[in-house]
Amino acid sequence: MEKHMAVCPYCGAGCKLNLLVEDGMVVGAEGLDGITNEGELCLKGLSGFDFINDTKILTPRILHPMIRRTKGAELERVTWDEALDFTARKLTEIKEKHGADAIMLTGSSRGPGNEANFVMQKFTRACVGTNNIDNCARTCHGPSVIGLMDTVGSGAMSVSIPNLENADLIMLFGYNPSASHPIVARRIVKAKEKGAKIIVVDPRSIETARIADLYIQIKNGCNLAFLNAFANAIVTENLHDRAFVEAHTTGFDEWWEVVKNYTPESVADVCGCAPEDIRRAARMYATAPSSVIGWGMGVTQQRQGVKSVHQIAAIACVTGQIGRDNAGLAPVRGQNNVQGSCDMGMWPSLLPGYQKVSSPEVRAKFEKAWGLPEGKLSAREGFKLTDLPHGVKEGKIRAFYNFGEDPLQTEPDSADMRETLESLDLLISQDIFMTQTTALADVVLPGTSWGEHDGVFSASDRTFQRFTAAVPPKGECKHDWQIFSELSTRMGYPMRYQDTEEIWNEVRELCPNFYGATYEKMAGTGHAQWPIPTIECPGTPTLYRNGQFNTADKKARLMAHDFIEPTEMPDEGYPLVLCTVREVGHYSCRSMTGNCRALTLLADEPGYVSINPADAAARGIRDQQLVWVSSRRGKVISRAAVDERINEGAVYMTYQWWIGKCNDLTMHVTDPLSGTPEDKHSACQVEAIADQVWAERHAQTLYAQMKDWLAGEAAAQDKEPALA
């Protein structure tokens, strides 16, 4: 049996593991002693390798390039040369006719790794000539990236995952680590064992609420009101660190002008919690020697995501709970390499290493390094991923290059997204699976899977780690960076790389904060945590030491905003709040985990809608029954999980299901500051289905049809192209 070192391709915890290989098949995974996982793996890490072997449980892998010669034609397998020529010609035509800004691309925050993404954004900027590149952070921690860059200067965790267990207090706000990051939940259990106090603020009584010293159940959608009141309590009780505020922040007075109006009593109705609980939490947080705030999608996928992040950062700053090893900010990233996508400049306003496209010096540096004439790089901020639907409707976006994402599954309002994708002149999908999005594509390009290529991932806490190939590429799959290079070469900007290390060294040279992260340093279970500006630098687990923030004046900018209620409030027709959440055993659009035997056995379609016993009883719904869930956007079948941990008046659906698809119900309304959809708050209704056997069969029929459709589209690849 061979063993090949890798980093888990699921959440952002960055767990090192060995892939076990027998006869060219990956047959198992075992934990390695990595910096964040210490040899442990959760169920996805342990059982999530099957998909590499093309099990076809959910959908087949794509092994050969395919194209539709004309819009709406059947997919046809072609040679790589033909596929790339076709793609280059189509993209060039669109660029000539509508301009470079009519082409939009999205990076992949999943298996491909940093090198593939770097080459993709280089292709976008240097060859296509646009900043229209984004990544799925837009729909998840985008507000954290933006909000933290505004206030403290770096859009990332300020503390490291291992140091969480040394904190004296951990406050979780809109974050359920047991489902999202079991390896982080493990650190929280360890912190509790070491005596830390735990505060959980969440509308659901999540796992961690059981071991919390204080659990505050809030109403859905009240975040900014709660945070403002929390800040108010800190200042009115004189718990703020005046010396720190004076020395290291700006804007306190303006901040207080807003915050002073939010007494805990004034928000009690909006938040649905006792004012004294807010005060108690504020006291515990401010007076603990070292406190960490962890947050997740509960904060970011809301109407006021960025503004809530501003306030979280402000709370840490006014109490001086930042800039120390065990005190700071912990927005834990969802996808394994979503930190990396942001690091690599898969962002319409940022070049790699968080260097702004608006800066002439930065552009000049990149132009010189990439052999471009002066002024070639666009200074214009590109489109956001969530601009796609209206960008296409308005005719501004004509082509979309989708790299390893499945927007038809993961973006809100699927019906609208489908119309968007179908209205494009050209949809390119570079993926490893025949996903719902890939099935609509005009060009299907098979990349290599995780397990078939090398690279570097960035874990959620800014830790770069290397992963390696365990098995050779299947079929005609090509490394993603090779596909981009060959396409770029055909479109007049030649790129040639020997391997990922050559690409990575280019990244290091261009990004001062990553320079010390050499492949050598990251060999085996090694790691490099940015900022790491020199070869000698051991890496930086903790940001903002001694109150030195990464803003221009080294001071944190305090910002506060007034609360507004969510866009769509429950009403008579749709009386329940719909909130989308995560499945512990599945990941992202589920194309990977849905093809793994153990994970599919544990959880399969149509997934669950979790509902409070009182809301279920009022609708005549019993546990495990199939039900209809409907909103103004659509209607899907799902299975009821009647659960006393769920707050009354709200239901929760995990977004991994293709039949019980919550994004058929969510709405495409975004936080104007980040373009992040308000996935955590829309209105819906849940109804019982009388004939349960019919419902079971109906769900199975829909599932079978879905699988048949995808297998049918993929079958085109079995027919070899005719010889030219």
Residue 588 Cβ vs other proteins, minimum distance, rounded to whole Å: 17
| Residue 2 vs 38, nearer CB to other proteins | 38
Residue 58 Cβ vs other proteins, minimum distance, rounded to whole Å: 9
The first and second tokens of residue 683, run together, are 């209105």
Q: Which residues contact 550 (CB under 8 A, 6 or more apart)?
A: 152, 153, 154, 543, 544
Residue 696 Cβ vs other proteins, minimum distance, rounded to whole Å: 4
| Residue 512 vs 613, nearer CB to other proteins | 613
DSSP state of 61: B
Binding residues for other proteins, rule: CB under 8 A, are 40-43, 46-47, 56-57, 177-179, 182-183, 185-186, 189-190, 205, 207-208, 210-211, 584-585, 597-599, 601-602, 622-626, 639, 643-645, 692-693, 695-697, 700, 703-704, 707-708, 711
Residue 423 Cβ vs other proteins, minimum distance, rounded to whole Å: 31
Residue 36 Cβ vs other proteins, minimum distance, rounded to whole Å: 12
Residue 181 Cβ vs other proteins, minimum distance, rounded to whole Å: 10
608-611 vs 635-642, strand pairing mode:
parallel
* Sign for the pseudo-dihedral over CA of 339, 343, 344, 345: positive
The first and second tokens of residue 310, run together, are 């501003």
The CA-CA-CA angle for residues 359, 360, 363, to 5°, reads 90
Report d(CA 688, CA 707) in Å as an integer: 26
The CA-CA-CA angle for residues 47, 448, 112, to 5°, reads 75
| Residue 534 vs 624, nearer CB to other proteins | 624
Report d(CA 706, CA 714) in Å as an integer: 12
| Residue 41 vs 397, nearer CB to other proteins | 41
| Residue 48 vs 446, nearer CB to other proteins | 48
The first and second tokens of residue 93, run together, are 């035509």
Q: Which helix (H) or strand (E) holds 541?
A: none
| Residue 505 vs 625, nearer CB to other proteins | 625
Residue 463 Cβ vs other proteins, minimum distance, rounded to whole Å: 19
| Residue 593 vs 631, nearer CB to other proteins | 593
Taking residue 26's Cβ as centre, other Cβ atoms within 10 Å add up to 22
Residue 662 near residue 639 (C-beta atoms within 8 A):
no
Q: Which residues contact 137 (CB under 8 A, 6 or more apart)?
A: 109, 145, 333, 338, 341, 342, 346, 347
The first and second tokens of residue 607, run together, are 């997934």
| Residue 342 vs 651, nearer CB to other proteins | 651
| Residue 189 vs 239, nearer CB to other proteins | 189
Q: Find the Cα–Cα–Cα–Cα dihedral 666, 667, 673, 674, rounded to 10°.
A: 50
Report d(CA 92, CA 45) in Å as an integer: 41
| Peptide bond before residue 613 is cis, with ω within 30 degrees of 0 | no
Report d(CA 228, CA 265) in Å as an integer: 12
Residue 179 Cβ vs other proteins, minimum distance, rounded to whole Å: 8
| Residue 505 vs 692, nearer CB to other proteins | 692
426-431 vs 399-403, strand pairing mode:
parallel
Closest CA to 493 of 370, 402, 374: 370
Report d(CA 431, CA 478) in Å as an integer: 11
| Peptide bond before residue 606 is cis, with ω within 30 degrees of 0 | yes
Residue 626 Cβ vs other proteins, minimum distance, rounded to whole Å: 7
Residue 41 Cβ vs other proteins, minimum distance, rounded to whole Å: 7
Residue 189 Cβ vs other proteins, minimum distance, rounded to whole Å: 5
Q: What is the CA radius of gyration of the chain?
A: 24
Residue 331 φ/ψ, nearest 5 degrees: -80, 100
| Residue 25 vs 243, nearer CB to other proteins | 25
Report d(CA 42, CA 578) in Å as an integer: 28
Q: How many CA atoms lie within 13 A of 350 on its CB side?
A: 23
Residue 156 Cβ vs other proteins, minimum distance, rounded to whole Å: 24
| Residue 178 vs 489, nearer CB to other proteins | 178
Residue 405 near residue 158 (C-beta atoms within 8 A):
no
Residue 47 Cβ vs other proteins, minimum distance, rounded to whole Å: 4
Residue 445 near residue 428 (C-beta atoms within 8 A):
yes
Residue 592 Cβ vs other proteins, minimum distance, rounded to whole Å: 15
**The one-letter amino acid at 261:** N
Report d(CA 60, CA 52) in Å as an integer: 10
Residue 330 Cβ vs other proteins, minimum distance, rounded to whole Å: 17
* Sign for the pseudo-dihedral over CA of 65, 68, 69, 74: positive
Closest CA to 21 of 597, 337, 468: 468
| Residue 50 vs 486, nearer CB to other proteins | 50
The first and second tokens of residue 685, run together, are 């209704």
| Residue 190 vs 396, nearer CB to other proteins | 190
| Residue 257 vs 694, nearer CB to other proteins | 694
Residue 675 near residue 142 (C-beta atoms within 8 A):
yes
